[in-house]
A and B are shown apart, each in its own frame.
Chain A
Amino acid sequence: MTLADGVQLVSTLILAAMVIGAALGVVLFDNIVYSAFTLGGVFISIAGLYILMNADFVSAAQVLIYVGAVNVLILFAIMLVNKQEVYSPVPRRWIRKLSAALVSAGLFGLLTVMLLQTEWLPNAAQTAPDSTVILIGEHFFSDYLLPFELASILLLMALVGAVVIARRESIVGEDTAIVGEQPAPVLELPERPREPVA
């Protein structure tokens, strides 16, 4: 084993341990803020795994998007919604936890068996490209052109939708909402809510 191979193996093991540990942290922490921070750890570790697979651009993009944007937004949401609410513990909660653990363990076992049984087709012919950026660009503008362009529609729509949901609503036809007055019953379904069943 050469030095590089050894480094790669050790890094893989460390990163794998980090991913699994952090992911367990996300699920098992009771404090949601801890979960959010460990989620950042998961993202970073996955970026490390990408680097080991020679996908440097994807790795940097993973850090930029998932850690820098997604995780920060999650933290923002958690910290801005500062509602201290004491939940009464659900009776026999351990049954739910146990069943969730059993299902997860079963799925894990199944997938492991599958991974071991499968003859994965190795793609030996492919060597690491000189520049992943150029390769990604070529794919984007040849065989993945259509999904790439459709993604722009998706992002545009998501942007418009996010603004629609987040903006402070002024009633159509008026430039400003009147502050302090009873708002008109807008943006609600015209159907009356059902009377609660007695």
Chain B
Amino acid sequence: MDVANLASQLNAGAILPEGAVILTLMVVLIGELALGRASAARWTPYVAIAGLLLSVGLLCLQWDLTPTLSFLGSFNADKLSIVLRSIIALSTLVTILMSIRYVEQAGSSIGEFMTILLSATVGGMFLCGAEELTMIFVSLETLSIASYLLTGYMKRDPRSNEAALKYLLIGAASSAVFLYGLSLLYGLSGGETHLSAIANALAQGTNHLGLLIALVFVIAGISFKIAAVPFHQWTPDVYEGAPTPVVAFLSVGSKAAGFALAIRLLTQAFPAVVEQWQFIFTALAILSMVLGNVVAIAQTSMKRMLAYSSIGQAGFVMIGFVIGTEAGYASMIFYLLIYLFMNLGAFTCIILFALRTGTDQISEYAGLYQKDPLLTLALSLCLLSLGGIPPLAGFFGKIYLFWAGWQAGAYGLVILGLVTSVISIYYYIRVVKMMVVKEPQEMSDVVLNYPAINWTPLGMRPLQVGLFVTLIATSIAGILSNPLFTLVNNAVVEVPHLQTANAAKTPMAILPTTTPELPAPLVSNSDSTAL
């Protein structure tokens, strides 16, 4: 195969968005080296943001292209992957907005932080479209190793060291188990690495036990990434010890990549054991919802509380995954999209509070309303949205999820989801109450000594922008959810293996919210890029 012939077959245009991120990464790395660390904080984040915007823009342009496999079947740029890749790119974008001041104040180098964060993004984006076992593993490792490094970025802080070490050790173990599962798949299929070829090969054989073991190992690896109970033990310590912007990225970008991996790998390579993996994920969902939301009540640190709440949220998302209907997948991706804004909004707020007061204890938020109404408003809205209070975005996300679950007959799961949602509202409201309802004399010390609000220091403006963007998105994305939902529906409808996965089940009605006359993808995508 000569070079020209090969180049024409590669269809390399499909990875242009990732190419943009890689180019940005190089510019940041080499630019920081050439121009010096001192000036890096002033320009590298903006270059990174520009690169990510470019990447999201390229993704929007790819929306209308007919999806083809690129790189001889290694990468699939279908609409599903485009939506998920956008989610990851956007989460990095907002993370960068909130990280500039944080990293600057900690005195560490921002250029390298950007480099590692961008490579994590590249890994996550490639993971969303990976169609082949090697590709899946390499991109998963890119994401994971970058996450370990980011977790340990505050290297003089023992908490950060501890978090990085725990994350690394547990992550390496789970990667090994995952890889063992992949190797079993490779062997059972007689030496295939492409997911569709594996599915074909496994459909003929009767190797049920081997397939089940491979399934269990693969699910263990995925569950670590999405922090599903009982693979969640790393989450609280890592969330507490890692730099807060990194936590924000882990809870959204990394988790979205994990779900992307789950959708693609499980639905495509394991059609023979659909019942089994849906059963396992049902158990994981139940455990995650119960444990995440119940334990979150007892937390005193905001970061730890959000860690457990993110476990619970992952449980909700899994409802959409296990029912295996189109509406389920669509609502799951929709929820991820909503979750992106509300969770990152909450993290922006607690970063702002930590930067001004140097603490993240929930009790220290007492009476914040009198000193900083904007922060109070933003944090309250984001938390209430996470809890699912109408008319905020989270409410609609949950409604779609539960509705899809109810339609598919997963009554028990939906009822459990409703109950645990109520529990989650309790601990979210507790924080809101702490901030708003306290009398002036009940104010905490740090709030009493709250510094004058000053947006001028380096990196505060981007933080403010991030705050407003996520706040607005959280407030109105629910009301204007039609275009978003059309978007995710289109993404799911056009992916063939999501149809074959539920061919046995009754075909589900698509939600009655589709508005065909609306040029949905363009509107909603430009909507999200503008944010």
Contact mask A88-125 → B, CB, 8 Å, 1/0? 00000000000000000000001101100111111100
B243 interface residue per 8 A CB criterion? yes
Closest B residue to A121 by CB, please name it.
Answer: B190
Q: Knowing A114-B213, A123-B190, A186-B107 are in contact, say whether A157-B138 is a contact too (CB < 8 A).
A: no
Contact mask B475-491 → A, CB, 8 Å, 1/0? 00000000000000000
Q: Is the pair A191, B74 in contact by a Cβ cutoff of 8 Å?
A: no
Task: Give Cα A157 to B105, complex, Å.
Answer: 23
Q: Is the pair A187, B119 in contact by a Cβ cutoff of 8 Å?
A: no
In the complex, given contacts A113-B209, A165-B152, what are 13 additional A-B residue pairs having Cβ atoms less than 8 angstroms apart?
Answer: A114-B210, A118-B188, A120-B187, A142-B6, A153-B122, A154-B141, A157-B116, A157-B142, A157-B149, A187-B155, A187-B157, A190-B102, A191-B359
Contact mask B52-93 → A, CB, 8 Å, 1/0? 000000000000000000111111000000000000000000
We find that the number of chain A residues with CB closer than 8 angstroms to chain B is 43
Q: Is the pair A186, B156 in contact by a Cβ cutoff of 8 Å?
A: yes
Task: Give Cα A133 to B177, complex, Å.
Answer: 29
Task: Give Cα A102 to B449, complex, Å.
Answer: 57
Q: Is the pair A143, B74 in contact by a Cβ cutoff of 8 Å?
A: yes
Query: Hey, which chain B residues are within 8 Å of A154, CB to CB?
Result: 119, 123, 138, 141-142, 145
Task: Give Cα A53 to B205, complex, Å.
Answer: 25
Closest A residue to B359 by CB, please name it.
Answer: A192
Nearest 6 pairs of A and B residues by beta carbon: A186-B107, A121-B190, A161-B149, A157-B119, A187-B156, A188-B157
Q: Is the pair A193, B102 in contact by a Cβ cutoff of 8 Å?
A: no
Sorting the interface of chain B by its residue count into under 10, 10 to 19, 20 to 34 or 35 or more gives 35 or more
A156 interface residue per 8 A CB criterion? yes
Task: Give Cα A112 to B157, complex, Å.
Answer: 45
Stretch at the interface among A36-44, A56-64, A169-177: A169-177
Contact of B145 among A114, A161, A190 (CB under 8 A): A161
Query: Hey, which chain B residues are within 8 Å of A173, CB to CB?
Result: 37-38
Could you list 27 A-B pairs, sorted by A, with CB under 8 Å? A113-B209, A114-B209, A117-B210, A121-B188, A123-B190, A143-B71, A144-B74, A146-B70, A147-B134, A147-B139, A150-B135, A153-B122, A157-B149, A164-B109, A164-B149, A164-B155, A165-B155, A169-B108, A172-B107, A172-B109, A184-B107, A186-B156, A189-B154, A190-B355, A192-B359, A194-B301, A194-B361
Q: Is the pair B38, A172 in contact by a Cβ cutoff of 8 Å?
A: yes
What's the minimum C-beta distance from A45 to chain B, rounded to whole angstroms? 18
A141 interface residue per 8 A CB criterion? yes
A158 interface residue per 8 A CB criterion? yes
B15 interface residue per 8 A CB criterion? yes
Q: Is the pair A193, B159 in contact by a Cβ cutoff of 8 Å?
A: yes
What's the minimum C-beta distance from B362 to chain A, rounded to whole angstroms? 11
B360 interface residue per 8 A CB criterion? yes
Contact of A111 among B25, B213, B301 (CB under 8 A): B213
Task: Give Cα A152 to B188, complex, Å.
Answer: 29
Query: Hey, which chain A residues are within 8 Å of B120, CB to CB?
Result: 157
What's the minimum C-beta distance from A13 to chain B, rounded to whole angstroms? 21
Contact mask B153-186 → A, CB, 8 Å, 1/0? 1111101100000000000000000000000000
Task: Give Cα A52 to B108, complex, Å.
Answer: 50
Closest B residue to A150 by CB, please name it.
Answer: B138
Q: Is the pair A147, B135 in contact by a Cβ cutoff of 8 Å?
A: yes
B199 interface residue per 8 A CB criterion? no
